[in-house]
Amino acid sequence: MLPSQIHPPPFVMKLVHRLTDPHPSLTRVSDRRDAQMMALILVATLLLMIVRRFVISITDPFASDTLIIFVVNTGIVFACYLLSRTIHYRKAMLALLVALLLSSYIQTINRAFNDPTHLSEVPMWMIAVLLIGGLIIQWQTLLGLTLIYLVGLVMLPAVVPGLKFANIRFSLEFTIGLTFLITAITALRQWELRRNEEQGRMLTASEGRYRTLLEAGFEAIIVHDNGLILDLNDALLEMTGHTSAEQLIGKMTIELTTPDARPTIAKYYASRTLNSLVYESVLQHVDGHRVDVEVRSRSITYQGQVVRVIAMRDITQSKQSSEQIKNLFDSLDRVFYSFNAVTAQVLQISPSCEKLYGYSPQEFYDDRLIWDKIIHPEDMPRFRDEFRKVNRDQHDLQPFRIIRKNGDVRWVEVLVTPVYNAADELTRFDGLATDITERRLIEAEQREFQAERERSLVLRQFITDASHDLRTPLATLYTSLYLLRRVVPPDENVSRYLTTLETQTAHLSRVLDDLFTMSRLDSPESYVEKSRLDINQLMDNVVNAQKTVVAKKQLKLQYFPAQTPIIVMADKDYLLVALTHVVNNAVQYTPDGGSITIRTCTTNRYAAQIEIADTGIGIQPSEIDSIFDRFYRSDRARKTDIGGVGLGLSLARKIMEVHNGFIEAESTPGEGSIFRIILPLMLK
C-alpha cells in the first residue's frame, strides 16, 4: 500500500481536531490555519518532551537538574498551547520563543560552569526553536531575538571564569550560520505567503464580482470548456425549465439545443473562428416547447483556465412579432421602400413589392433604373414633375399607372417623405406605395352608377310627364273615334281607316302604360302589393286573352298546366303584365301557322316554372344577352312590320326581379325560342 493511501483511524483524526481546532473568534482562513498548525506543533513538542524525559528518567534517574528544566519548559509550552487556540496565537508564539531562548541561555550558562565541552548541544535546541517560530512570527522579530541570544553567547567568557572563546566558537558559528539561513528562508516564505494571500483575495473578489454579475444578469449565461458546462446562472435554469444547476453542470452545451439547431452550432465550432461569435439558435425547454435565443460567445479566463462564456437572450416573442409584422406587410398591397436621393438606388424595400410590381426585392437592389421600366411611359413626365416638388414634408403624389413585370397595368398611390442628415443634406426618400386599382374601378363604377341613376331619374320624370301629357290627347282620340263611328255613314274604306286608327291608338296607350309601369318600378319608393296567386289560373287568363290574335294568325297554342295548383305570393297586376308580354312576344315573332307551347310546373319544393316555347324566327346568339335590355329590338325584328319599342321583355325581367325571380331565354335562329320564368313558391 502506498503511503498516500494510509489514513489514520477516525478516532485519531477526531482527537487531533479537538486538540488543534482554533477558537471560533478566529474567522480568517489564514489565521485559523496558522493557529491550528501552531497548536499541532506544540502538542507534538509536548509529546516529544514527555518522551525525552521518560527516556532520561530511565537512563539517569538522579538527574534532578533536567527534571527542573523539563517542568519549566513543559509549563511554558503548555501555556503557549493554550494561547495558540485563541486570537492571541501570535503572542503565544512570541512568548514561547522568548521563554525558550531565555531557558536555552540559562542552560548555556549552566553548561559553561559545569561542562564547557558540551556547549554545542544547547544551540541545537535553539535552532529547533527558531525553525518553529519561523512558521508564525515575522522574520524581523525572529532575527532580533537571535541577535540578542548571540550577544549573550559572546558575553559568556566575560561572565564565566575560565571559559575561553574557543569553547563557544562552534556554538557561535553554528548559531549565526543557521540563524541567517532560517531567517532568509522565513522571509522568503512569508513574502510568498503574502503574495499568495493577495492573489487569493484578488481571485476571491474577482470570483465574487463574477458570481454577482452572473446571478444578477438578465441573460442566461453558461461557462463551458470545449462544450462541457462548468457553471451557469439562474436565468438559464428559468429559460430551460430546470430546477437546479446540478442538473446541467457536467453536460454538453449542445444537449440544451433542439436537434435541428445542432448542425449550425457544430459548423461554427468546426470553423474555429471562436474569438467572438454572435448567432441565433433554439433551446429545448424541459416541457418540450422551443425557445428562440440570440447567442453571444467569447473566451475568458475562469479559475485560472481559458474557457468560453455564452450569453443568451430570449428572442422568441421578438421573432414571433417580427414574423407577424412580416406576414402583415406581405399580406398588404402596400410597399414600403427607401432609395438614395442622388442615385435613385433602392436601399430597402418590403417583400410585398413582388405582389404589387411583379419584381423581387433583389431585382430592385440590382437594377438602379428599374423605375423606368415600372412607371407607365405616359405618366412618367407627370411623375417626375411631382417628385421635384417634394419638399421637407410628406407629399402625396397624384395616382399614376405602373406596368407589372407580366405586362399588367395597375394604378398606385405613393406617399413620399424626404430624409435629411445632420448637415441638412437630402440623403434619401422613404415612401409607401398602395395599389388603388380596385378602388379606382369601384369609384368608376360608382360614378357610372350615379350617372345611370341620374339618367334614370331624368327618364322617369320624362316618362311621368309624357304619360300625363299624352293621356289627354289619347283620351280625345278615343272619344273622337267613337263619335266618328256613330255619325259617319257606313263605308268600307272609312271603316278600315277608323279600325287602323283605333289599333294604333290602343298600341300607343299600351306603350305609355309600359313606360309608366317601368318608371314606377324603378322608383325607390315603388311598392309591390303581393297576394296569394295560382299560377295555373293566371296563365289561363293570359292564354284566353290571346285567342283572337292566335286565331287570326292560325297559330297552334297549347297550354299544359300543372296537375296541382302552383301558389306564389305576387302582385297580380304586375305578374299579369309580365306574362302577357312574354306570351305576346311569342305570338308576335311566330310566323302564321306556327305553334306555341306553354307549361307550368314546379322545379323543386321552392320554385315555380313557366315555360313558353315557340317556333318563331329565333334569336341570334350574339343578341341573346341583349333582348332584356330596355328599348332593344333585334335586327330581324326591325325588318318586320311588328310594332313595339322594345320594352316588353325588359319590363317582364324587371317585374320578375321585384318578385325575387328571374327570366331566361334560349333560342335557335330559324327554329324558335324558349323562355323560362322562375318564381319562388309560397311557403306553407
Please give the pLDDT value at position 4: 45
Return the CATH architecture of domain 442-519.
Answer: Orthogonal Bundle (1.10)
Cα separation, 88 vs 64, whole angstroms: 34
What value does the mean pLDDT take over residues 658-678? 90
Q: List every span in the chain annotated with CATH 1.10.287.130.
A: 442-519
Q: Where in the chain is the domain with CATH 3.30.450.20?
A: 217-319, 332-435
| Residue 120 to residue 206: CA distance in whole angstroms | 53
What digits encode the pLDDT tens for the residues 348-372?
888 888 888 999 989 988 888 888 8
Question: What value does the mean pLDDT take over residues 269-276?
Answer: 61
Instruction: Supply φ then ψ for residue 264, to 5 degrees.
Output: -65, -45
| CB within 8 Å of 353: residues ≥ 6 apart | 335, 337, 359, 360, 361, 364
**Residue 394 pLDDT grade (very low, low, confident, very high; cuts 50, 70, 90):** low
- C-alpha to C-alpha distance for 341 and 429, rounded to whole angstroms: 6
Whole-number pLDDT of residue 404: 92
Pairing of strands 305-314, 290-302: antiparallel
HEC states along 217-272?
CCCEEEEEECCEEEEECHHHHHHHCCCCHHHCCCCEHHHHECHHHHHHHHHHHHHC
Long-range contacts of 386-393 (CB under 8 A, 24+ apart): 387/416, 390/416, 390/418, 390/429, 391/418, 392/418, 392/420
pLDDT band at 599 (very low <50, low <70, confident <90, very high): very high
Top pLDDT among 4 and 677 is at: 677
- Which of 369, 399, 362 is closest to 383 using CA atoms? 399
For the segment(s) 217-319, the CATH number from 3.30.590.10, 3.30.450.20, 3.40.50.300, 3.40.50.1100 is: 3.30.450.20
> Around 588, how many Cα atoms within 13 Å sit in the side-chain half-sphere?
18
Q: What are the pLDDT digits (tens) for 21-31?
A: 877 777 777 77
CATH class of 528-680: alpha beta
Distance CA 586, CA 673 (A): 8
- CA dist 426 and 388 (Å) reads 13
Evaluate whether 207 touches 303 at the Cβ level (below 8 Å): yes
| Per-chain mean pLDDT for the chain | 78
Q: What is the pLDDT of residue 130?
A: 65
**Which fold, 332-435?**
Beta-Lactamase (3.30.450)
CA proximity to 183, closest of 269, 83, 97: 97
Q: Is the pLDDT of residue 34 over 90?
A: no
Residue type, 16: V
DSSP string covering 133-183: HTTTS-HHHHHHHHHHHHHHHHTHHHHSTT--HHHHHHHHHHHHHHHHHHH
Asked whether residue 638 carries a pLDDT value surpassing 50, the answer given is no
d(CA 496, CA 492): 6
277 vs 257, higher pLDDT = 257
CATH 3.30.565.10 domain residues, the chain: 528-680
What average pLDDT does the segment 36-64 reach? 74
At 249, give phi and psi (nearest 5°).
-60, 130
Residue of higher predicted confidence among 6 and 548: 548
Q: Is the pLDDT of residue 3 over 50?
A: no
Rounded to 10°, the helix 64-84/29-59 angle is 170
Q: 10 Å Cβ neighbour count for 577? A: 19
The radius of gyration of the chain from alpha carbons, rounded to an integer in Å, stands at 61
- Could you report the per-residue pLDDT of 214-240, keeping only the tens digit for each? 566 678 888 888 888 888 888 888 889
pLDDT at 601: 93
CB 613 within 8 A of CB 674: yes
pLDDT at 414: 87
pLDDT per residue as tens digits for the range 553-571: 899 999 999 999 999 999 8
Q: Are 481 and 502 in contact (CB under 8 A)?
A: yes
Residue 674 banded pLDDT, cuts 50, 70, 90 = very high
Residue 104 reports pLDDT greater than 60: yes
The per-residue b/e assignment along 519-532, b for 16 or more CB within 10 angstroms, e otherwise, is: bebeeeeeeeeeee
Tell me which residue has cell 418590403.
350
Query: Is the model's pTM score more than 0.85?
Result: no
Q: What angle do CA 627, 629, 630 make, to 5 degrees?
A: 120
Give pLDDT tens digits for 534-546: 999 999 999 998 8
**165-216 helix and 139-154 helix, angle to the nearest 10 degrees:** 170
Tell me how far apart the alpha carbons of residues 162 and 160 are, in angstroms, rounded to a whole number.
Answer: 6
Q: What's the grid cell of residue 291?
A: 425557445
Residue 595 scores a pLDDT above 90: yes
Helix (H, G, I), strand (E, B) or coil at 44: helix
Taking a C-beta distance cutoff of 8 angstroms, is the pair 78, 96 a contact? no
DSSP-derived 3-state class of residue 290:
strand
Q: Between 408 and 55, whose confidence is greater?
A: 408
